[in-house]
Chains A and B, each alone.
Chain A
Amino acid sequence: MDVHYLLQLVLNGLFVGAFYGLVALGYSMVYGIIKLLNFAHGDIYMLGAFAGYTMLTIGAGALGGGSIVALVVILVIAMVLTGTVGLVLERVAYRPLRSAPRLSVLITAVGASFALEYGVAVGYGPNPRVYPVGFGNGAVDIFGARLTYAQLFMMLVALGLMIGLDMFIRRTRSGRAMRAISQDPKACLLMGINVDNVISRTFFIGSALAGAAGVMAGAYYGKVDFLMGFIIGLKAFTAAVIGGIGNLRGAVLGAIVLGLLESFGTALLGSEWRDVFAFGFLILFLTVRPTGLLGERVTERV
């Protein structure tokens, strides 16, 4: 195999991995703090894509068409919106069940997922919508491999958001509170930390990141539909498990590993094997190394 082909596969993997990563972070944050697999998380990604679509369609003129600045503004607004939806979701669907058996919350999460999907289907209709912006096909040549400017831009935004989150978790008081709660919520309560607030904040941040990924996917791929969050939700979950669920750097690592596995796996076996490959690795990791690549703490699991 020649170098530029290998490099192209790596770039494909990294690009897809960037999207998986943004969604996987929210999965992992929520799991780390309240041990809940938030199956509605992929649908928050879908909501982000639709929020971006709505703003672009309504405000395209006012924002000066599909310029990068307009897109960034829309990205930020969509993040606030989806973050708020995540917050409300936690307040309405999950908080009342916090002391209930874990299975109840899991079922509620699946219900919330359907509610969001078909709520959007009712509001926007079942047909796909097309983003009214398009990027040119301009690209940079990296040793013969090709990366479009749009892809480069998306990856930089994703990287920026990931670094921002990492700094927030490691350097701020809020971040420290989150890490503390993930270790022992009862002790945190005794130490005077407002646990409910921190959990709300976690949902807000996780959902905002998924919303950002949704807007970016909508702008890059162009097509959005109400079921678009389903597969990526499962893939992000897989990424989180590969990296070690609950571990944020692990989630990003897992996403990149998954993206690369898919990219090389399909190159070897053909594109119809992509999902078989991805979910085969999920099963492999769950049986052989359930704590993932970076997970050390052996906690009890659902």
Chain B
Amino acid sequence: MMSTTRIGAVAAAAGVVLALASCGGGGITNSGSGGGGDTKGDIILGMATPLSGSSAAIGPYMKNGAQLAVNEINDKGGVLGRKLKLVVEDEACDPKTAAAAAAKLVTEGTMVSVGGYCSSATLPTLSIFGKANIPMIIPAANSNDLLKGNNKNVFLLNGTGAQQAQAAVDFMKKSGAKAVALVDDNTSYSKDITTRTAEDAKGDASLKIATQQSVTAGESDYSAAVTAIMRANSDFVYWTGYYQEGGLIIKQLKAAGYKGKIMVADGSVDKQLITIAGQDNAQGVYATMTQTPQTIPGGDGWIAKYKAAFNADPGPYSTQSYDAVRVAAEAIKNAGSTDGTKVIKALEDINGFKIFSGNLKFTPEHTLTEGGFDILVVKGDQFVLNK
């Protein structure tokens, strides 16, 4: 797996080099007419998001959210007198597919990337966009692994794994958990949260991590993990993977007679989790989640606009994708150019720009200063804000 991923990344990188070579050729004619980079035509925003595969449900939410912002900005005359254009490619929540999608977005002339959902799939795209000097405003992917390379072009618009873990630990303490079981699916995003949750919990004597389990995604039988959780006498289970396995684990925990609390991380916040677990089993399951339009005060008007445009309900990461486009437009406007280096500088300088999660200002690591994680709870067939 490791080696094929690497081959994929190398192939994609090679593709980028070729693409850059051909772009360079085109650039000369461009500068001849335009003078100093491209200053004409549409401003192209690229988005890699899952449209197939295990997380395919998320893609349309992100795509529509971004498109809504593009439409609104274009209706007001665009940016620097130019129209925005959104180009979407499928990343399938798979590193190889994502690398190919990123390479394609680069060849299609992406100036700012506003995509990225699965962290493990977003990781290989960092260097592909980085080599082309394209700023990335990542709306959803939030593993701290994304920050390890210190890539100057990478900005995270979602709370990070560290912030999510902190929110989780705070809630565990508040709800009086004694023995916590942490379960992840061994992917970058999921493992990041469990590791950090375990570290954060160390500081508190009343909160004990009773067991830590890693399961393999894509299987059906999680009885091994469930039995280990039951044996550790856990009264609080925190699942940090995605909704398919999450649903199965909740169902199997309940079948095994588990009576304690269950919480899931943002990758599992999807109605499918409730369907797979069974509505009865899912009642009262908590979730750590970044703000969704349904949970944001005053989000109703935005939901109505979204519905009018796409005849569908917004979902997880619709607002973040909407904000990613707005932040990109703001940075390009402030930079007065689509030049990668200038836009990155403008993004670092943004201070107090209003987005859904509050006033935007990036930390030196290019993450949000305010994390903005909410605790949701399952009521009926959906997640609602826990009060």
Residues in chain A within 8 A of chain B (CB atoms): 5, 8-9, 12, 15-16, 126-128, 130, 134-135, 137, 139, 146, 148, 150, 217, 221-223, 225, 227-228, 231, 262-263, 266-267, 270-272, 274-275
> Distance (Å) between the CB of A130 and the closest chain B CB?
5
* Cβ A222 vs Cβ B224 within 8 A: no
B residues within 8 A CB of A270? Answer: 213-214, 228
Which among B7-15, B39-47, B49-57, B168-176 touches the partner chain? B49-57
Closest to A1 in B: B231
* Cβ B52 vs Cβ A267 within 8 A: no
* Cβ A263 vs Cβ B255 within 8 A: no
- A12 touches which of B215, B227, B257 (Cβ 8 Å): B227
Q: A137-B257, A139-B257 are in contact. Are A274 and B231 (CB under 8 A)?
A: no
* Cβ B231 vs Cβ A128 within 8 A: no
> Distance (Å) between the CB of A137 and the closest chain B CB?
5
Q: Can you report 14 residue pairs joining A to B where beta carbons are below 8 Å apart?
A: A5-B227, A8-B230, A15-B221, A126-B52, A128-B272, A130-B275, A137-B257, A146-B257, A225-B244, A228-B220, A266-B224, A267-B227, A267-B228, A274-B224
* Cβ B276 vs Cβ A130 within 8 A: yes
Closest to B214 in A: A272
Q: A146-B257, A222-B276 are in contact. Are A275 and B227 (CB under 8 A)?
A: no
* Cβ B248 vs Cβ A137 within 8 A: no
> Distance (Å) between the CB of A48 and the closest chain B CB?
14
Q: Taking the complex as formed, is B222 at the interface, i.e. its CB lies under 8 A from any CB of chain A?
A: yes
Q: Given the complex of chains A and B, what is the CA–CA distance between A270 and B281 in angstroms?
A: 25
B residues within 8 A CB of A275? Answer: 216
Q: A135-B255, A267-B228 are in contact. List 14 more A-B contacts (CB 8 A).
A: A12-B227, A16-B223, A126-B53, A221-B251, A222-B247, A222-B248, A222-B251, A222-B278, A231-B218, A263-B223, A271-B213, A271-B214, A271-B222, A271-B224
> Distance (Å) between the CB of B60 and the closest chain A CB?
12
Q: Given the complex of chains A and B, what is the CA–CA distance between A270 and B228 in angstroms?
A: 8
Q: Taking the complex as formed, is B254 at the interface, i.e. its CB lies under 8 A from any CB of chain A?
A: yes
A residues within 8 A CB of B219? Answer: 231
* Cβ B215 vs Cβ A272 within 8 A: yes
- Chain A CB within 10 Å, residue with most, of B52, B224, B227: B224
Q: Given the complex of chains A and B, what is the CA–CA distance between A34 and B160 in angstroms?
A: 56
> Distance (Å) between the CB of B181 and the closest chain A CB?
12
Q: Given the complex of chains A and B, what is the CA–CA distance between A221 and B219 in angstroms?
A: 10
Q: Given the complex of chains A and B, what is the CA–CA distance between A271 and B245 in angstroms?
A: 14
Q: Taking the complex as formed, is B325 at the interface, i.e. its CB lies under 8 A from any CB of chain A?
A: no
